[in-house]
Structure 1
Amino acid sequence: MTADFWPSAVKLSGSLSQRCVSSPLPPNPCEMDFDDLAKQQSDRIFQVWLQNLLGNSPEDLAGKLASRHYPGSTPATASRLSNGAFNVCYRVTFENGRRVVVRFVALGRVVARNEKVEDEVAIMQYVGQHTTIPVPIVLGSGKCAVGPYIVMSYIEGNPLSGYLRDSSQITVTLNLGISIPILRRAYFGMAEVLLELSKAGFPFIGAIRRTESDEWTVQKRPLTFNMNRLTQFSNIPLKVFERGRFNNAADYFEELARQQFYHLEFQCNNAITDEADCRKKYIARCLFRKLAREIPKEHCSGPFRLYCDDFRPDNVLVDASSLNITGVVDWEFSYAAPVEYTLAAPWWLLLESPEDWEPNLDQFLTRYMPKFRVFLEVLKHCETRKIQGGSLSESQRLSIAMEKSLETGLFWICLALRHSSMFDEIYWDFIDSRFYGPFTTTEDRLSLLSAEERLNIDAVVESKMRQASEGTLISHYSIDELVDL
């Protein structure tokens, strides 16, 4: 598709304070699932990489790498830890009893592996030096026979989610019968981390780096959870994403709106069900792009706050007896982000990833809102304690903005920006009628598009229908190229 295939949009007149007006949805709104062929390709690449790792005696390899970055110590044992989504980890115990973790970034689970490691090392070093959040100490990083790796200190503790989840469910989900005192204790620890992250301020949006003069700055674009998912499961080439940092939130939100177009443009399979579905998805992206230009008015120029796309109770380690936090791990996809992300209600209160929520998001809200009220109460208490102790100012409270974020729609807009697979459902359920009035017909919404956007819709539909009928997958990288990314 040519560059002008996805045209620019005209400016929106409207505001985030408009309330949602009840209206019928377009018929059969359909979310865009990921590409089945891309998923299969990702799984095959991961399995080949995993066999290569296992063929390299990973316990011995982990021990050698640990010794390289912990000189003077002799490895005694190495054992595999439970896997996350993006890494394979080994705990190495030295003869003196000290323990470290060696993390190998999995090919097939991450496309930009070297960039991911560089970003994660930098963010852990910054958080460890400039906040009170307990994080692993980075002992070293580099490349080995199976790709990039990190060696870091081992932190004792169990995932907080293990004390909160419903053990009868396969999917990690909150035990709705959990006692309020335990839930409050868990939420209090999470609130403390959020408040600590919100204190840092940066002049640009993107990944942070330490300069040779030992100063911290933003030097390039953020590598986000959604970008990784789009390259992995929608077969979007990494090169289409902006590489530079963003000077303001308006430019960054527009880039995120473009990423929704990339999702529709580049994903060949499982993207649409029919012509009507394709038209709705194209229209939704055009109208959302208008909104994206209006979101960041108050905080457009920053300072921008640290945000971790994957921060959740599963990555928070706690002491079993007190649920006090012993460490926060897995800092991939963390960056200086728009302030709006920090001010939106947290998505993880029910433990589930957004992709695991009910197809009917109103049902999700029925479960979410009671826990959100508990969290707000805890957050306000945490804020008050910190203000009284002098470690937080009144202006740094998050609870007031978080409480409003569901009413104003900010919660849903930020979620749609960060989770492309949920974009269409969120847009039609919680965004469209709030900003464009009651829905009548698809043709009515089409009239809100620019002349250029309306002119291109037939070409978009024709192209997507052709892709759907062909059922092919375009390989953007050779295996050698993927290994080097």
Structure 2
Amino acid sequence: MRRDHLAVKQRQEHSTIWLEYLSQQMPWLAMHLASQHRPGHLATTASEVTTGSNASCFVTFEDGISAVVQFPILGRSQFRAEKTRNEITVMRYLARATIVPVPLVLGAGGWGCGPYTVTQYIPATPLSSHMDSSLAINALTRELRRGYHCMARLTLELSKQTFPRIGALNQDTDGKWTISKRPLTLNMNELVRGANFPPNMFPEKTFASASEYFTELATQQVHHLWYQRNEAILNADDCKRKYIARCLFRRIARTIDTEPGPFRLYTDELRSSNVLVSAAENADFSVAAVVDWGFAYVAPNEFTYAAPWWLISDSLEEWSTKLPQFVSRYIPYLNLFLRILSACEDNDIKKGLLDASQRLSNRMANSFHNGLFWFCLAARNSYLFDEIYWTFLDTRYFGPLRSLNDRLSRLSVEELEGLERFVRLKMTHASEERLDEHMAFSDYVEL
């Protein structure tokens, strides 16, 4: 499904207004905020602002130490305060409980138009800059192997962090790490940003089982089709097809075999561009820091067991066209990564750092053949959902498809009775070319 062009335009307008206001406060604001979190040290210079999901500014102090001040951009980041709190919590947990290197959090707060963070500056380069040339020429080079080794070590370390419920990490007043907040995901952000999804439609709770959480994600896919007014459907037949797919996917989610807890720490943004490394000649890369933890949460084990989607691309959008051809290119890289991961597991098992039952490589290999890879990818990405469902999931779970009417018998009575009414509603939405106003601009500023 394409993004709603009116929603995207509105969020871009929010971003433009916000960035213009931020630029008026610079460089004084960045230097002032950074100095607050290094008492006794004067900030002397600040770089130009760079933008991604965050606006970032590098500040240098009189003693030569540098820091990064980051501001989540209104319109691009939809849950700025919640995401910032989650990111700081996860980074502090990782620094204390794991060997995953993360930037030191110097401080955080609010500046009047949203939250900010101040972290130490890490003089390193993204791992993706070392791997991209190999991926561009489809070559399984030594440099790519070195990069995959870094990613395998990080994936394995994250998988060792377990918790009793699904949700966001929190630290209580006694210093104990708990799961007491909802899981905030990248897809939630993208649904609000690109589909004008009502933010208050997301539940405010944790989950006791993977089955419960998968059902919630499947319900979000249904709600996405309902609430996105523009670019949601092509015509009545396309609407019917999308409605049926989401109903059947929810049925899969309710019945799929899942593993009980404890559950594992997972991040939607683990990819080579978020891993900063130093590179020595003819040696393995040394990971200096892993960044962007705002969408990290404790997730179903199946997310960890699914093969990583990021092996040949840092962008899921590339999966949207010619999916089978993209997969044929992916398989050799998956096989290489799994061999490297298996070797890392062997090494940890010999050192007593991992039990054989905790291996991921065999589970990841199975996920690509038993459909778990595709189920998890469809559950986590609303804009790839239809392509994944009809290409890889429908026939696997419901048998050969002769016509779309074959699938109507699989719907519940309630779903079947609501089909024609839903199609009429979406055809009306498509003809009106407008947005529903779920929140005022000032409300988005508060998020």
Does the Cα contact within 8 Å between 1:204 and 1:218 map onto a contact in 2? yes
- 1:393 correspondence with 2:355: yes
| Aligned equivalent of 1:288, options 234, 237, 249 | 249
Does the Cα contact within 8 Å between 2:273 and 2:314 map onto a contact in 1? no
Query: Structure 1, residues 167-206: CA drift from partner, whole Å, max 9, x if none?
Result: xxxxxx9323445211111000100000000001111111
Deviating 4+ runs (over 6 angstroms): none
Using the size of structure 2 for normalisation, the TM-score is 0.97
| Aligned equivalent of 1:64, options 8, 32, 54 | 32
Does the Cα contact within 8 Å between 1:224 and 1:333 map onto a contact in 2? yes
**Partner residue, 1:112:** 79
**Partner residue, 1:19:** none
Aligned residue for 2:76, secondary structure, equals: coil
The structure, 1 or 2, with the larger RCO (C-alpha pairs under 8 Å, 6+ apart) is 1
Report the Cα distance in structure 2 between the residues aligned to 1:132 and 1:80, rounded to whole angstroms.
33
- 1:175 correspondence with 2:142: no
| Aligned equivalent of 1:131, options 98, 110, 116 | 98
1:358 deviates by: 5.1
1:408/1:177 CA distance change after superposition, 3 Å: closer
1:37/1:411 CA distance change after superposition, 3 Å: same
**Partner residue, 1:307:** 266
How many aligned residue pairs are there? 444
* RMSD of aligned Cα (Å): 1.2
> Where does structure 1 lack aligned partners over 5 or more consecutive residues?
1-31, 167-172
Q: Where do residues 212-231 of structure 1 align in structure 2 (5 Å cutoff)?
A: 212-231=173-192
**Partner residue, 1:103:** 70
Report the Cα distance in structure 2 between the residues aligned to 1:154 and 1:393, rounded to whole angstroms.
36
1:260 deviates by: 0.2
Does the Cα contact within 8 Å between 1:207 and 1:219 map onto a contact in 2? yes
**Partner residue, 1:384:** 346
| Aligned equivalent of 1:154, options 121, 125, 131 | 121
Query: Structure 1, residues 412-460: CA drift from partner, whole Å, max 9, x if none?
Result: 0000011000101100000000010001111110111111111110010
Does the Cα contact within 8 Å between 1:195 and 1:398 map onto a contact in 2? yes
Question: Partner letter of residue 107 of structure 2?
Answer: G
Report the Cα distance in structure 2 between the residues aligned to 1:41 and 1:358, rounded to whole angstroms.
24
Q: Where do residues 235-250 of structure 1 align in structure 2 (5 Å cutoff)?
A: 235-250=196-211
Q: Percent identity at matched positions?
A: 46
Report the Cα distance in structure 1 between the residues aligned to 2:25 and 2:50, rounded to whole angstroms.
19
Query: Structure 1, residues 24-80: CA drift from partner, whole Å, max 9, x if none?
Result: xxxxxxxx11101101111111011100100112x2211111111111111121114
Report the Cα distance in structure 2 between the residues aligned to 1:178 and 1:79, rounded to whole angstroms.
37
| Aligned equivalent of 2:331, options 349, 358, 369 | 369
Question: Partner letter of residue 245 of structure 2?
Answer: A
Aligned residue for 1:271, secondary structure, equals: coil
Aligned residue for 2:220, secondary structure, equals: helix
- 1:79 correspondence with 2:42: no
Does the Cα contact within 8 Å between 1:38 and 1:473 map onto a contact in 2? yes
- 1:45 correspondence with 2:45: no
Q: Where do residues 332-347 of structure 1 align in structure 2 (5 Å cutoff)?
A: 332-347=294-309
Report the Cα distance in structure 1 between the residues aligned to 2:123 and 2:139, rounded to whole angstroms.
24
Report the Cα distance in structure 2 between the residues aligned to 1:245 and 1:140, rounded to whole angstroms.
27
| Aligned equivalent of 1:187, options 132, 148, 151 | 148
Report the Cα distance in structure 1 between the residues aligned to 2:49 and 2:350, rounded to whole angstroms.
41
Report the Cα distance in structure 1 between the residues aligned to 2:381 and 2:306, rounded to whole angstroms.
15
Report the Cα distance in structure 2 between the residues aligned to 1:348 and 1:400, rounded to whole angstroms.
18
